[in-house]
């Protein structure tokens, strides 16, 4: 099985080199490659790896019987399986599926103080259980948030190197349009990524077969797995409501007004009854919530109306897998996005922003047609971002830039299916450049 190079690989190498490293907790939704990446890192960097999976081996929940001190845990693990060896300074202890046994997080304090063994914990839905984990290990761990593959990691999987990515960024910095060949190659790669999403199992199948064959079946199995997680882990909540919200996302994204409307989820549905469902899906890493700003100005946090939001899938492949049969066939056979074109591109841009470290914000003025898809920021400036299905006039973007009312906005960004350009303080980039926006803006500061 081919190993897909990931950004966490670089982070893990740096973590290992830090002499003051603390136990590491890797968070992220299910089946995004956490376990595979940690195993690969362990095999390359340690003489000895002790892996404990709390789903597959629930017997290891007994290891805390004598308390959480390192010596007691090591002794109890060795009793359960005498073949597990602990060599000081050369052993990685990997606790997987932490969501099944958050109590083990209490031990991280003792591992950090002991210092003889490196410890990595990993699990899905950790956002749901994080209160229990955080209270047990505050100050004694490092957190890492992992996602499914972004477009850069997808390019790596396709055999493109860092020089290719640096060249894309150089085009943006120099505002140098791509030639026809470059544009054609990048657009084709990006469309494939839109259709597939970034789940490793889906991407690996596509790489190995060099076609979309089997990709939809894997995507649908992932959907089924996510729904099963809702049934298993949504304790004390209305699971049917969570699933209703989940299944409504593609329907509402396909509409011109992409604001998520609870009233459309079910007859008589009210915001207060569904608020917890949206928080649950967000904490589980299944969706990205884009909140409406009260006013387009800095700072962004605290400047939102939490009753108005758009919901995107954290991985566009999940959105694609929920489309109807006709749309599926058209998408894979003809690479035609149909009525979902705007929804899919907006979802992929939102996904790219979250994976590069941005929060998601939009703005809609109630007393006018002024509306903007996303906002990103630098230290001193706010940049409205418009995702256009066609390269038309960006009326709202121009209003935000030119009006004296919006003091933090001086430039805008438009993402289109066309080429690089600049006109009247609006930077235009192809969709496939979305993952580089943060790096581009950092270079401008």
pLDDT given at position 411: 96
Provide the pLDDT for residue 75.
Answer: 96
Q: Is 133 helix (H, G, I), strand (E, B) or coil?
A: helix
pLDDT exceeds cutoff 70 at 440: yes
Let me know if 86 is exposed, middle or buried by CB neighbors in 10 A (0-12, 13-18, 19+).
middle
Mean pLDDT of the chain: 91
State mean pLDDT over 363-391: 89
- Residue 394 pLDDT > 70: yes
The CA distance from 127 to 242, in Å, is 16
What value does the mean pLDDT take over residues 150-178?
A: 97
For range 36-44, the mean pLDDT: 98
CA distances, 106 to each of 63, 86, 101, 134 (Å) = 12, 20, 11, 9
Residue 322 has pLDDT above 90, yes or no: no
Taking the C-alpha atoms of 243, 245, 246 and 251 in order, what is their torsion angle to the nearest 10 degrees? Answer: 130
The model's pLDDT over 224-275, given as tens digits with 9 standing for 90+, comes to: 999 998 888 887 778 889 998 998 998 888 887 788 888 888 888 888 888 8
Show Cβ contacts of residue 198 under 8 Å, excluding neighbours closer than 6 positions. Answer: 32, 147, 148, 149, 150, 153, 154, 315, 316, 317, 351
Buried b or exposed e, range 385-415, using 16+ CB within 10 angstroms:
bbbbeeeeebebbebbbeeeebebbebbbbb
Nearest to 225 by CA among 8, 94, 55: 55
CB 382 within 8 A of CB 408: yes
**Lowest mean pLDDT segment, chosen from 45-59, 108-122, 301-315:** 301-315
Is pLDDT above 80 for 191?
yes
Whole-model pTM: value is: 0.94
Picking from 357, 359, 374, the residue whose alpha carbon sits closest to that of residue 431 is 374
SS (H, E, C) 325-381: HHHHHHHHHHCCCHHHHHHHHHHHHHHHHHHCCCCCEEEECCCCCCEECEEEECCCC
Are the C-beta atoms of residues 194 and 187 closer than 8 Å to each other?
A: no
As a whole-number percent, the residues of the chain with pLDDT over 70 amount to: 97
Contact predicate 289/360, CB 8 Å: yes
The tens digit of pLDDT for each residue in 42-54 reads 999 999 999 999 9
Say how far residue 113 (Cα) sits from the centre of its chain: 32
The gap from C-alpha 191 to its chain's centroid, in whole angstroms, comes to 18
Residue 93, CA distances (Å) to 63, 307, 364, 429 in order: 14, 43, 49, 45
Lowest mean pLDDT of 67-81, 132-146, 162-176, name the range: 132-146
The tens digit of pLDDT for each residue in 308-321 reads 999 999 999 989 88
The tens digit of pLDDT for each residue in 216-225 reads: 899 999 999 9
Q: Are 92 and 117 in contact (CB under 8 A)?
A: yes
| Main-chain phi, psi angles of 183, to 5 degrees | -65, -40
Question: Across residues 397-408, what is the average pLDDT?
Answer: 92
pLDDT at 339: 67
């Amino acid at each position: 099985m081919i190993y897909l190079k990931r950004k966490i690989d670089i982070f893990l190498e740096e973590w290992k080199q830090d002499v003051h490293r603390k136990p590491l907790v890797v968070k992220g939704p299910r089946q995004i490659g956490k376990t595979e990446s940690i195993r690969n890192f362990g095999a390359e960097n340690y003489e000895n790896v002790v892996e404990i999976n709390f789903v597959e081996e629930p017997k290891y929940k007994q290891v805390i019987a004598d308390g959480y001190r390192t010596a007691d845990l090591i002794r109890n693990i060795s009793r359960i399986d005498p073949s597990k060896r602990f060599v000081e300074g050369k052993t990685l202890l990997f606790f997987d599926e932490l969501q099944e046994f958050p109590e083990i997080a209490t031990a991280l304090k003792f591992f950090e103080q002991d210092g003889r063994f490196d410890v990595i914990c990993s699990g899905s839905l950790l956002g749901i259980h994080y209160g229990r984990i955080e209270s047990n290990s505050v100050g004694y761990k490092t957190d890492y948030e992992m996602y499914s593959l972004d477009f850069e990691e997808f390019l790596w999987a396709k055999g493109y190197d860092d020089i290719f990515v640096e060249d894309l960024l150089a085009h943006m910095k120099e505002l140098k349009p791509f030639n026809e060949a470059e544009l054609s190659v990048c657009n084709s790669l990006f469309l494939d990524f839109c259709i597939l999403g970034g789940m490793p199992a889906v991407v690996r199948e596509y790489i190995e077969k060099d076609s979309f064959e089997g990709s939809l079946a894997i995507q649908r199995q992932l959907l089924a797995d996510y729904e099963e997680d809702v049934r298993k882990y949504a304790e004390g909540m209305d699971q049917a409501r969570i699933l209703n919200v989940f299944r409504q996302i593609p329907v509402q994204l396909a509409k011109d007004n992409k604001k998520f409307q609870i009233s459309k989820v079910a007859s008589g549905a009210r915001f207060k009854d569904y608020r917890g469902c949206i928080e649950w899906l967000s904490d589980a890493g299944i969706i990205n919530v884009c909140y409406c700003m009260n006013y387009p100005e800095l700072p962004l946090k605290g400047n939102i109306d939490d009753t108005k939001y758009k919901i995107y899938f954290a991985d566009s492949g999940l959105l694609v897998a929920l489309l109807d049969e006709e749309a599926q066939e058209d998408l894979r056979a003809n690479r035609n996005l149909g009525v979902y074109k705007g929804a899919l591109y907006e979802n992929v841009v939102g996904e790219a922003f979250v994976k590069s470290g941005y929060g998601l914000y939009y703005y809609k003025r109630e007393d006018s047609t002024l509306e903007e898809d996303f906002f990103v920021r630098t230290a001193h400036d706010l940049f409205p971002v418009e995702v256009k299905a066609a390269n038309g006039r960006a009326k709202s973007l121009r209003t935000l830039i030119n009006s004296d009312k919006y003091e933090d906005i001086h430039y805008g960004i438009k993402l289109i299916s066309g080429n690089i350009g600049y006109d009247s303080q609006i930077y235009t980039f192809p969709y496939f450049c979305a993952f580089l926006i943060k790096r581009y803006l950092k270079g401008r500061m």
